[in-house]
Structure 1
Amino acid sequence: MNMSFLPEKIGAAFASVNPRLSKVFLPWVVKNPRYLRGAPKLLKAFNEAEEIRASLMTEEDVMIPPIMILSITNRCNLSCDGCFAHTLGNSGKSATGRSVMTVQDWQSVIDQGRGLGVYTFLIAGGEPFMLPGLIDICLNNRDRIFVIFTNGTAIGETELQKLKKTTNTVVVVSVEGGRELTDDRRGEGVFESAVDTMERLHRNGIVGGISVTITRKNHHFWMEDENLDYFIDRGAKLAFFTEYIPTDEGGSTSVSRSPMGDLNITSGEESYTVLKSEERKSFREKILYYKANKSLFIIHSPGDEELFGGCVSSGKGFIHVNPYGDLTPCPVSDIATHNMKKVSLKEGLSSPLFVEIRKSEDMLENGDGPCALFSHQKELEELRRKVGAYKTGL
């Protein structure tokens, strides 16, 4: 195959989606030729997926998101403070006794998503690398992008060798900041393991990144250039900065609004509280500076959602499937009307629950908070009762 034209074509394709993609990823692709071999299939599939989704919207009025988030296992080897998956009963010791999705079940969901025009699958958990056969799923679907979110402690040599065969897989390692911040929330020694994993991925030509939960405790760390540069130097090509959403373990979290409309969140989790208005504003300004000046593709939630008119959950931009097959609006929500073991993905995406959420502009407004649906718990509960949705957790 003559691949001399591919870097230019790939650069143009990246730029058509987001100009920053070309600047960040094209040099990596050129230095790692195996990605050039997989690029034509990915580019063709991307265009086909766009056409399928547009056709379904025009002809059948069915909104298909380009992204699916799959919480692919409820198993996890860590017990991080404030973990929403744990609180929702989707991970760790709080996981329910319900039967989990098998690898075959997940492949069925992915096959259905492919047929509907879903192009990118974000793989979460639990800890995804505790699911046997995870990387085989990526290898068996080479015309789709997989982004795996991991705590960085469970990738052995066997997994690393398999990842070296992929050309469609990104591995994102979760950290809180430096050693003290990360180990304080995730456990002693986790920071060292996470950084070691990032460096091994980089040495072996596997695209890597970082995922950070932004709280009042660590946001100053990430506003220092040299701290972000530390992770860029260790191979990070993309970063997900997600502002902390309080969990409601023990009923310790309450949400209200001041007479001026500001969001007030009271939580028993003193160490991991949401940013205040001025902190959120200054952090957003720093993120925009990083986007313009760093060789890193950055996704910031909820800040970037402003470009789409608010929250993009419930099929507007993405949808979520938990370890038991429940189709929920997003990973931090615990309501559903459909389960992927019983119905088709297309039927689930057309549910009144998602349609009503997408129609409610107020419910999708983040306002002064980290998450639109979290900020509108009363309205969401009213809608849950109206459409007969069930609680997915404990």
Structure 2
Amino acid sequence: MNTTFDSLTHKMQRAALGKTADIVLSHVNKDREKAMTQLVDVAKTFYGDSFSEEAYNHARQTLSNPDSKWSRLINCMLDQLDPNVARTTALNLGYEAFFRGTKTIRENRVKYQCNIPWLILFDPTSACNMHCVGCWAGEYGNKNNLSFDDMDKIVSQGKELGVYLYMLTGGEPLVRKADILKLAEKHNDVQFAIYTNSTLIDDAFCKEVVRLGNIAFMLSIEGTPETNDARRGSGHYAAVMHAMDLLKQYGILFGTSICYTSANIEAVTSDDFMRFLCDKGAHFGFYFHYMPVGNEAAPELMPTPEQRKYMIDRIRYLRSEACDIPFYPMDFQNDGEFVGGCIAGGRNYFHINSAGDAEPCVFIHYSNANIHDSSILEILQSPLFMAYHNGQPFNKNHLRPCPMLENPELLRKMVHETGAHSTDLQSPETVDHLCDKCKAYADNWQPMADEIWSHTKIRESRYENYKDWKPGQQ
């Protein structure tokens, strides 16, 4: 009886939100601000006390002001997106993941006393048609693939735990584009996001993505043609430009995936580059600090402390109302203060490689469990994942969140104590070798990080720090 009631409630809530989304999408710009404030009211009926009344009022004020950064950003995206893409993404992210999924995740964290993530990242294949300098993915070789049944198992079991967002990387995921489309069609209530080098995006594929509506893309790019092709190979920049034009033409949601290094950090954050991305149709981006993972890594590409401070200041400026560029950047290494430190180990996400090995993080190539002989829940309860669960946050200074990069002695200890093995199939790297490469960086960054943190407004614990959360709380 409860299952039937829950199913009916689910359908009614999704239908109500869908109707509101249709109203927003049907309005021209002069009426859209009013419709978006109504969307806040609908959201409040779902989320309730999860957010304060002050937060809801702030959202209404921001969205009703056509000159605010958020209004301009949302309008740019709504004007560009195909209606089916916009509607499906809003329902899958806004309702299934943020609302319904989050409630289930919180309950399961208490029930199972382990990390339950908000998203799962997995590699359909290790095959790639490129050979980028310093790429961590290249350490896996190019012969492994998750079968369709493997990927279906990951998504099906994840949904049971409340996970409705799945990111795909590789290798180059679009080597498996037929299976990806099949997976997205079977799980059309889930949002998929694909990290891609762009070279395999074509018209036929775009038409299918629009039909399904639940796939977004993050395109790898690193600044100017010169800085990009220096690491990714001649001709790659042109391929990304072509893919951006296609995705914009078809109204598909896409952003950027940018690895910042000591060599490109200013090029990939300049005003000109940001405006250029917006003109091409990208309005959000994920920035990743270069990690010296693998025996063939290039530690000299790690940013200096001064460069990292520049990155912190720059990203915060780009997100502020002082910046008129309708682009929203996220920097996972420097945004720890907003999520309570490290989000890996299943706290908010984890990674499954193309051989099925479950890793705490896409940059941490050590594992105790494999999807071929363990369930998602068993993976989250495996020794290395529980070491993450019990150790997080790894530092009170959330500008030093990572147990590898800023606290290498912690990763070394966890891997040794849990007996986790290297998952690098080509050239296995010992945890001691990896952590030794990070020690000087960690020592050099600590004084500056502590100085910045001492002037940072410490934020109150949010639901991400769920160890303090009790059943019945919002």
How would you bin the TM-score normalised by the shorter chain? 0.7 to 0.9
Q: Cα RMSD between the aligned structures?
A: 2.7
Q: Distance in 2 between matches of 1:357 and 1:365?
A: 15
Structure 1 residues 352 and 195, CA gap change in structure 2 (3 angstroms)? same
2:114 alignment counterpart: 62
1:388 to 419, 422, 433: 419
Greater RCO, 1 or 2 (C-alpha within 8 Å, sep 6+): 1
Q: What is the deviation of 1:135?
A: 2.3
- Whether the aligned pair in 2 keeps the contact of 1:153 and 1:193 (CA below 8 Å) is yes
Mark the CA change 1:344 to 1:362 in structure 2 (over 3 Å): closer, same or farther.
closer
Write out per-residue CA displacement over residues 142-175 of structure 1, whole angstroms, 9 at most, x where no aligned residue. 2121111100111122212211213222111101
Tell me by how many angstroms 1:324 deviates: 0.8
- Displacement of 1:10: 4.9
Amino acid at match of 1:179: P
Alignment-mate amino acid for residue 172 of structure 2: E
Q: 1:356 to 1:177 in 2, by over 3 A?
A: same
2:77 paired residue number = 28
Within 2, Cα distance between the matches of 1:214 and 1:124?
A: 18
Q: CA deviation at 1:23?
A: 5.5
1:335 equivalent among 360, 366, 375:
366
The Cα shift of 1:185 comes to: 0.8
Instruction: Give the structure 1 partner of residue 103 of structure 2.
Output: 51
Q: List runs of 5+ in structure 2 lacking aligned partners.
A: 1-17, 26-34, 60-68, 426-474
Greater percentage in helix: 2
Identity of aligned residues (%): 25
Tell whether the 8 Å contact from 1:11 to 1:22 is kept in structure 2 after alignment: no
Deviation at 1:351, TM superposition (A): 1.7
Structure 1: distance between partners of 2:245 and 2:127: 25
Aligned counterpart, 2:248: 202
Deviation string, structure 1 residues 293-344 (Cα, Å, up to 9, x no partner): 3312221020112222321100111111000111100111111111001111
Measured in 2, the distance between the counterparts of 1:10 and 1:335 equals: 43
Spell out, residue by residue over 1:165-195, the C-alpha distance to the aligned partner (whole angstroms, 9 max, x if none). Answer: 1322211110111111111111111101101
Partner of 1:103: 148
Say which SS state the counterpart of residue 283 (structure 2) adopts: strand
Q: Pick from 164, 185, 203: which aligns with 1:119?
A: 164
Cα distance in structure 2, aligned partners of 1:100 and 1:21: 40
Distance in 2, Cα, partners of 1:5 & 1:142: 22
**Structure 2 SS opposite 1:236:** coil
Match of 2:192 in 1: 146
Structure 1 Cα separation of the partners of residues 266 and 113 of structure 2: 45
Larger radius of gyration: 2
Q: How many angstroms apart in 2 are the aligned matches of 1:116 and 1:249?
A: 36
Match of 1:264 in 2: none
Greater CA drift, 24-33 or 321-330: 24-33
Mapped partners of 1:201, 1:384: distance in 2: 42
TM-score by length of 1: 0.85
After superposition, the Cα gap between the structure-2 partners of 1:356 and 1:40, relative to the gap in structure 1 and judged at 3 Å, is: closer
Deviations 1:175-218 (Å, cap 9, x if unpaired)?
A: 11111111111111110110110111011100111111001111
Relative to structure 1, the CA distance from residue 65 to residue 26 in structure 2 (aligned partners, 3 Å threshold; closer, same or farther) is farther
**Is 2:267–2:273's contact at 8 Å kept on the other side of the alignment?**
yes
* CA 134–35 in structure 1, closer or farther in 2 if over 3 Å, else same: closer
Q: State how 1:127-166 maps to structure 2 within 5 Å.
A: 127-131=172-176, 132-166=178-212
How far apart are the structure 1 equivalents of 2:102 and 2:387?
24
Which structure dedicates a bigger proportion of its chain to strand? 1
Question: Which residue of the partner structure matches residue 281 of structure 1?
Answer: 309
Q: Please give the TM-score of this superposition, normalised by the length of structure 2.
A: 0.71
Which of 318, 340, 344 is the aligned partner of 1:290?
318
Contact 2:132–2:232 (CA under 8 A) maintained in structure 1: yes
Is the CA contact (8 Å cut-off) linking 2:124 and 2:168 kept in structure 1? Answer: yes
Letter in 2 for 1:291: R
The answer to whether the 8 Å contact 1:66/1:120 transfers is yes
Aligned length: 369
Give the Å deviation of 1:50. 1.2
